[in-house]
Structure 1
Amino acid sequence: MRQITWKPIIVFVVFFLIILILASATAMALPGKLPLGDFRGVMMMLAWLIYIYAYAFIVYRVFLAIMPLPQGEIPKNSRAEFIYHVYVLFYLIFFNSIIRSRTPPIPLMRLIYLILGARLGRNTYSSGLIYDPIFVRIGSDSVIGESALLVPHIIEGTRLAHYPIQIGSNVTIGAHAVVLAGTIIDDNAIVSAGAVVTKNTRIGPGEIWGGMPAKLLKHRELRDTHLDG
Structure 2
Amino acid sequence: MSHSQFTLWKHHSVVGELGKLALRLFFPVFFRPIFYSLLGAKIGKNVAIGGLITDPMLTQIGDYAVIGQDSVVTSHTMVFNNFFLKRVVIGNGATVGINAVIMPGVVIGENSTVAPGAVVLMDTKIPPNEFWGGIPAKKIKDIEAAT
Secondary structure in 2 aligned to 1:80? Answer: helix
Deviations for 1:89-130, whole angstroms, at most 9, x for unmatched residues?
3234x224224x354112221111000011111111211111
Change (3 A) 1:108 1:191: same
Among 214, 219, 222, the alignment partner of 2:137 is: 214
Which residue of 86, 97, 100 maps to 2:11?
86
Q: Which residue of 1 aligns with 2:100?
A: 177
Is the partner of 1:110 in helix, strand or coil? helix
Q: 1:80: how far off?
A: 1.8
Report the Cα offset of residue 185 of structure 1.
Answer: 0.9
| C-alpha contact (below 8 Å) 2:13/2:55 kept by paired residues | no
Unaligned regions of 5+ residues in structure 1, if any? 1-73, 225-229
Q: Deviations over 1:202-224 (max 9, x none)?
A: 10110000111110000001232
Percent of residue pairs identical? 30
Map residues 65-84 of structure 1 onto 2, 5 A cutoff. Answer: 74-75=1-2, 78-84=3-9
Q: Is the 8 A contact 2:30 2:47 kept in 1?
A: no
One of 47, 50, 62 as aligned partner of 1:127: 50
Matched with 2:19 is 95
- Structure 2 residue 32 is matched with structure 1 residue 109: yes
Q: Tell me the CA shift for residue 82 of structure 1.
A: 2.7
Off by >3 Å, runs of 4+ in structure 1: none
Correspondence list, 1:1-229, <5 A: 74-75=1-2, 78-92=3-17, 94-99=18-23, 101=24, 103-224=26-147
Tell me if structure 1 keeps the 8 A contact 2:63–2:93.
yes
Higher helix share: 1
1:151 Cα deviation after fit: 0.9
TM-score, with length taken from structure 2: 0.91
Q: TM-score, normalised by structure 1?
A: 0.60
Q: What RMSD in Å do the two structures reach over aligned CA positions?
A: 1.6
CA deviation after TM superposition for structure 1 residue 147, in Å: 0.7
Mark the CA change 1:209 to 1:184 in structure 2 (over 3 Å): closer, same or farther.
same
Other structure's SS at 2:77 match: strand
- Deviation, 1:166, is 0.7
C-alpha distance in 2 between matches for 1:140 and 1:193: 20
Decide which structure has greater strand share: 2
Whichever of the two has the greater Rg, that structure is: 1
| Pair 102,191 (structure 1): closer, same or farther in 2 beyond 3 Å | farther
Aligned residues: 147
- Structure 2: gaps (5+ residues): none
Separation (CA, whole Å) in 1 of partners of 2:140 and 2:86: 25
Aligned partner of residue 123 in structure 1, secondary structure = coil
